[in-house]
Amino acid sequence: MATEKIPVMGDGLPAALREMLGPEIEVLEWDDSPGSPALAKAVGIVTYGHPHVDGSLMDRVPNLRVISNHGVGVDHINIEAARSRTIPVGNTPGCLDASTADMTMALLLATARNVVVGDHFARSAEFTHYDPSQLIGYEVSGSTLGIVGLGRIGKQVARRAKAFDMPVLYYNRRRDEAAERELGVTYVAFDDLLRQSDFVSLNCPLTIETTNLIGTREFSLMKPTGILLNMARGPVVDHDALYAALHSRRIAAAGLDVTAPEPLPRQHPLLGLSNLVITPHLGSASNRTRHRMIQMTVENLRAGLTGQALPWSV
Ligand code: NAP
């Protein structure tokens, strides 16, 4: 007798994830429209690529047992709504710390040392001879890095910065003395971090508190040679204020892995600036990390479907 498959709704799940789910799972294509048959049928949800899941969507999935998120950030899921409905939410913390920290350093180096502008120049007809006065960047070694959000990823950024002989400042809501001892980082007030840092790296989650955390006031506190790096989430930075700060050279440059909206409209003025380096949300996009994220997503899903505690629960 054929056993019934377990219906799970997912958004554009890649082949590797589908394969790991196995034949007993039926993947229903994402459909959150009113009266959606997928919502009526699903017992699990996999959020891949950050689709929004709020309380009203949860209410339209009467048999929902688990939400399994591919990724650590869960700002696109209403966690309180899930909690009040006793729906467990899983995510993939830890496995992406190194790759996301690597990418933070990639943006730091690219913005400071003209990697992207230099690449374009080196391919252009204008590059006729080596001129030592061209494209002089900012020294990374010995410059001060300020990390906003010294959590799992932020700590890995700090480790890498130490290898570049960078003094590291950090700001969290709570001071982390164990991290200070282990990593040799210094806790400072938020405004002092902005004033003293050559690079400001955003590695905090997106919450109500961190929405527009960096705006006109914050740019006015940064050094004119300062560089902003956003590896967190787009809405942590006020993009109009960022454009004004970059265009007027109130700050020197910015590196963005995330934007609001994502992607930016193709005509967005930020995309016309040469002192901006932008990547399409590549923080955790490395081969081994992606593989582990998929494993963790599937393990959380399976646990939730069978009523067990999730191995990695929000
Ligand atoms: P985590 O371990 O929870 O660390 C977050 C840190 O942010 C904590 O140290 C926390 O300290 C601090 N924080 C929270 N609210 C803050 C606030 N209002 N002001 C200042 N600091 C605050 O998280 P994680 O695993 O490192 O991930 C961090 C975020 O990175 C994720 O939520 C996600 O949005 C983003 N991310 C992006 C990519 C990418 O591809 N670009 C990849 C992975 C993750 P306190 O609680 O003491 O404030």
pLDDT digits over 190-215, tens only?
Answer: 999 999 999 999 999 999 999 999 99
The pLDDT confidence band at residue 3, using thresholds 50, 70 and 90, is confident
Domains 6-95+288-305 and 97-278 share a fold: yes
* Run of H or E including 118: helix 115-123
pLDDT at residue 1 greater than cutoff 60: no
CA dist 299 and 276 (Å) reads 38
Q: What is the pLDDT of residues 64-120, one digit of tens each?
A: 999 999 999 999 999 999 999 999 999 999 999 999 999 999 999 999 999 999 999
* Domain coordinates in residue numbering, the chain: 6-95+288-305, 97-278
Contacts of 226 (CB under 8 A, 6+ apart): 194, 197, 198, 199, 200, 251, 252
CB 216 within 8 A of CB 190: no
Nearest to 96 by CA among 72, 68, 69, 75: 72
Torsion sign, CA atoms 306, 307, 310, 314: positive
| Mean predicted confidence (pLDDT) in 264-278 | 98
| Residue to probe by mutation, ligand 1, list 104, 175, 204, most atoms within 8 Å of CB | 204
4/15 Cα distance (integer angstroms): 22
Domain 97-278 listed as CATH 3.30.750.24: no
- Give CA–CA dist 76/65, Å, rounded: 18
CB count within 10 Å of CB 22 equals 11
Alpha carbon nearest to ligand 1 atom 46, residue: 173
pLDDT for residue 301: 98
Give the strand pairing for 186-187 and 168-171.
Answer: parallel
Q: Torsion angle of alpha carbons 158, 161, 163, 164, nearest 10°?
A: -170
pLDDT tens figures, 165-183? 999 999 999 999 999 999 9
pLDDT greater than 70 at residue 298 = yes
Q: What is the CA radius of gyration of the chain?
A: 22
**Which residues form the catalytic set?**
233, 262, 281
Q: How confident is the model at residue 56 (pLDDT cuts 50, 70, 90)?
A: very high
Fold of 6-95+288-305: Rossmann fold (3.40.50)
Cα–ligand 1 centroid distance for 75 (angstroms): 11
Does the CB atom of residue 145 touch ligand 1 within 6 A?
A: no
Probe residue for ligand 1, chosen from 96, 153, 256 as the CB with the greatest number of ligand atoms within 8 Å: 153
- 3-state class (DSSP) for residue 96: coil
Task: Give the pLDDT score at 2.
Answer: 62
Spacing, Cα 77 to ligand 1 middle (Å):
16
Which of helix, strand or coil describes residue 121? helix
**pLDDT value of residue 181:** 98
Give pLDDT tens digits for 128-146: 999 999 999 999 999 999 9
Report the atom number in ligand 1 closest to the C-alpha of 206. 34
Q: Round to whole Å and give the CA distance between 155 and 93.
A: 13
pLDDT digits (tens, 9 = 90+) for 248-259: 999 999 999 999
User: In 3D, which of 259, 263, 304 has the Cα closest to residue 90?
Assistant: 304
For a pLDDT cut of 70, what percent of the chain falls above it?
99
